[in-house]
Structure 1
Amino acid sequence: MAQWRDMKKDELEKQYSPSQWSHRMAADDVIRVHVASLREGTQTARGVARTLLDVPYGEGEGEKLDIYMPSSSSSNLPLVIYLHGGYWQFLSKEESGFMAASLVPKGVAVVAVGYDIAPKGNMDLMVSQVRRSVLSVLQQYPRVSGVYLCGHSAGAHLAAMVLCTDWTQYGVSPQIKGAFLVSGIYDLLPILSTYVNEPLKMTEEVALRNSPGQLVPELKKASSACHIVVAVAQNDSPEFRKQSEDYFKALKSSGLTVTFEDVPNTDHFNIIEQFVDEDYYLTQLLLKIIG
């Protein structure tokens, strides 16, 4: 398989355009259907959960969370923090509560995190925001039985950056028990010369310090007890698949607890959309890890 450095710009752009690889429908349609599906799932979740919406975790306008709680009064529940995708420039927490539709009835709380997408937010700010969002959730719910991260695409990148956090700077030591990284990007260098970087305006320096693949020693130090699942869609692009495979191998060779899931009959979008279904393979796997 060609390394990204050998690719012409148009080939690289195609590799990093997930909608062009879906076998289900045309590129524009798959994105439109994706957004509609996430919105519908989030509406369903708001019907089954007790919700706390627009809870601030910082001073910024975009620094808000939506919390989906089971009706049971126990505070000693597992809690999943979801970080949305959208290439750091699209989507919001408003479409990001869909996982709660299948998890809340099983007694799992779900938090959907908002952050300042580009061009308002830059990469350093977004990483800082999601770290502070996790900190805020831990302070708000200190008695939860376990914290689990889930991120899709750009959100998987941000979840991986959370796992690398030096929490001593924040004066805490959170026990993140599990992380589901779904169709993520772990090396930002290949996207520097593509359309993806136009609103982000990352330099090589910014891309390197925010590439989880470069930060495996930091992750090992911060999150050695975490069970990490690296999941990728059968119909993700070869370059997206390679990113997941390479990141999984780097984690595994560092002795971390990590599993690789190559999910059949999925593309970049429905691999996450199907979390609304409690019988979906990845939903079942998440519930199993939560125990």
Structure 2
Amino acid sequence: MNKTYRTPMNKDELERQYSPSRWSHRMSADDVIKAHVAALKSGTEKARAVTQTLLDVPYGDGDGEKLDVYVPSSSSPDLPLVIYLHGGYWQFLSKDESGFLAVPLVQKGVVVVAVGYSIAPKGNMDLMVSQVRRSVVSVIQQYSHISGLYLCGHSAGAHLAAMVLSTDWSQYDISPQIKGAFLVSGIYDLQPILSTYVNEPLKMTEDVALRNSPSRLLSQLSSSSCHIVIAVAQNDSPEFRKQSQEYFKDLESAGLKVSYEDVPDTDHFSIIEQLVDEKYHLTKLLLKMMGRS
């Protein structure tokens, strides 16, 4: 692939580029993170109050290997199902703040599954990638009647969703037919963060970063029929925006069905927080992808 030549950045500038909270125009870096956590928590509390839920469903034997399922009241067995993978730089947040997007989707007859995984420092990158892959296998085994499987991930979760798309399923019992993937403000090449604060709890070596970078695993993309949406915030940092642009171009060059959404008037956090709103552009796009608009 033709990569854009990057002028090497000094460590301070690299850290600034990979600190999403420093690029929000709405409030200070500390405040935007606090507001983000509060928004996800309140959205998830509302979803748990108004939908049927199955909480802490195990998909493996590990402590962190659990799912929360938000179920529509519809009795039809043929419902689309979206698996949501949370952000938090592989070291914050959990499935317990990841049901916020469920209300507008469940109302339209979509099952929403929020996946927990072992964040750093307890979990490492190889383990997290293995966990989300196994969670997808488990969901398919538990919900065999779904009409279509979709992925949605934000930030670190978009990276993990992209790693699910680039899975060699021959080592699993099942090969999921993923119909769509919604990758929001993600990182698709892990090398630039190796020397930043982000890697301190992750402790990734270059080998680990390379084998877990979706931009380097294009030949393993298993679902040519999968519609992939790469979404990025207007006020994401230039490096975050470049990551999305380059991954989009790589997918397009590989002949995949992919579209690019540059979402105006959003930052790294509001771009995903607004999925609580059925009128929000990305909510409508996600429902349309699933044939539920």
- Once the two structures are TM-superposed, the CA of residue 213 in structure 1 deviates from its matched residue by 0.2
Map 1:1-291; keep pairs closer than 5 Å: 6-219=8-221, 222-291=222-291
- Once the two structures are TM-superposed, the CA of residue 239 in structure 1 deviates from its matched residue by 0.2
Output the CA distance in 1 between the equivalents of 2:247 and 2:148. 24
Structure 1: any 5+ residue segments left out of the alignment?
none
Q: Match of 2:107, SS?
A: helix
Say if 1:4 and 1:190, in contact at 8 Å, map to a contact too.
Answer: no
- Any idea what the Cα deviations from partners look like across 1:212-256, whole Å, max 9, x if unmatched? 00001111xx11110000000000000000000000000000100
- Once the two structures are TM-superposed, the CA of residue 171 in structure 1 deviates from its matched residue by 2.5
Output the CA distance in 2 between the equivalents of 1:75 and 1:67. 15
- Once the two structures are TM-superposed, the CA of residue 5 in structure 1 deviates from its matched residue by 5.6
Which moves more between the two structures, 39-48 or 147-156? 39-48
Identity %: 76
Output the CA distance in 2 between the equivalents of 1:50 and 1:73. 12
Q: Match of 1:112, SS?
A: strand
- Once the two structures are TM-superposed, the CA of residue 75 in structure 1 deviates from its matched residue by 2.2
Counterpart amino acid of residue 249 in structure 2? K
Q: Match of 1:6, SS?
A: coil
Output the CA distance in 1 between the equivalents of 2:250 and 2:175. 24
- Once the two structures are TM-superposed, the CA of residue 113 in structure 1 deviates from its matched residue by 0.2
- Once the two structures are TM-superposed, the CA of residue 174 in structure 1 deviates from its matched residue by 1.1
Matched residue count = 288
CA RMSD of the aligned region, Å? Answer: 1.0
Output the CA distance in 2 between the equivalents of 1:84 and 1:181. 11
Say if 1:96 and 1:112, in contact at 8 Å, map to a contact too.
Answer: yes
Output the CA distance in 2 between the equivalents of 1:104 and 1:243. 31
Which moves more between the two structures, 45-54 or 235-244? 45-54
Counterpart amino acid of residue 16 in structure 2? K
| TM-score, structure 2 as length reference | 0.97
- Once the two structures are TM-superposed, the CA of residue 3 in structure 1 deviates from its matched residue by 5.8
Q: Match of 2:256, SS?
A: coil
Output the CA distance in 2 between the equivalents of 1:274 and 1:205. 36
Q: Match of 2:57, SS?
A: strand
Say if 1:75 and 1:141, in contact at 8 Å, map to a contact too.
Answer: no
Output the CA distance in 2 between the equivalents of 1:122 and 1:3. 30
Q: Match of 1:278, SS?
A: coil
Counterpart amino acid of residue 136 in structure 2? V
Which 4+ stretches in 1 moved above 3 angstroms? 2-5
